[in-house]
């Protein structure tokens, strides 16, 4: 059997899990680049996923700590979906994907890593971006550094009107 090493993955596996909600804490800090916050609206924000499925994987989160879309007020819901559209537009321009997966895992049993705070994933997809690696080797290949993706998307967002 061939062995494939993915030493970068161990950082995520062994990293201490935050005690507080990062979707509440990060927007309170003045460290958007470090925290990978791409855009701040009045009711919601766009943040990159630190452990992306593909390059450009972002999340749209309301500022308010609620577990589901059912708890959002009309203005929060409206802006959250507008930011999903902004993310799609910017990622299309910057990265030219063939499609997108968009979704929210509501509840721990549905796969939510942070079930208490709603976040909607926007995942760009390319033809052939899946392979045998995740299935056979439990390895995921992300071909671009987070910092490079952040700069590319941030530049496009700053030039885009919502």
- The H-or-E segment that residue 126 falls in is none
Determine whether 117 is an active site residue.
no
Active-site option among 65, 117, 119, 121: 119
Q: In whole angstroms, how far apart are CA 45 and each of 8, 80, 86, 93, 142?
A: 28, 8, 11, 19, 24
Helices (H), 17-145: 22-28, 32-35, 74-95, 132
How far is CA 71 from its chain centroid? 21
Nearest CA to 124 among 58, 75, 73? 58
Show which residues are catalytic.
119
């Amino acid at each position: 059997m061939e062995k494939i090493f993915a030493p970068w993955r161990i950082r995520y596996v062994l990293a201490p899990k935050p005690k507080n909600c990062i979707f509440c804490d990060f927007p309170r800090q003045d460290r958007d680049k470090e925290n990978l916050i791409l855009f701040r609206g009045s009711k919601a924000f766009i943040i990159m996923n630190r452990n992306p499925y593909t390059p450009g994987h972002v999340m749209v989160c309301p500022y308010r700590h609620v577990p589901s879309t059912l708890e959002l007020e009309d203005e929060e819901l409206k802006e959250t979906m507008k930011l999903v559209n902004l993310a799609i537009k910017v990622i299309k321009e910057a990265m030219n994907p063939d499609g997108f997966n968009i979704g929210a895992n509501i509840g721990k049993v549905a796969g939510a890593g942070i079930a208490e705070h709603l976040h909607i994933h926007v995942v760009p997809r390319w033809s052939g971006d899946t392979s045998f690696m995740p299935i056979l080797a439990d390895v995921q290949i992300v071909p671009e550094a987070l910092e490079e993706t952040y700069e590319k998307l941030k530049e496009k967002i700053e030039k885009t009107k919502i």
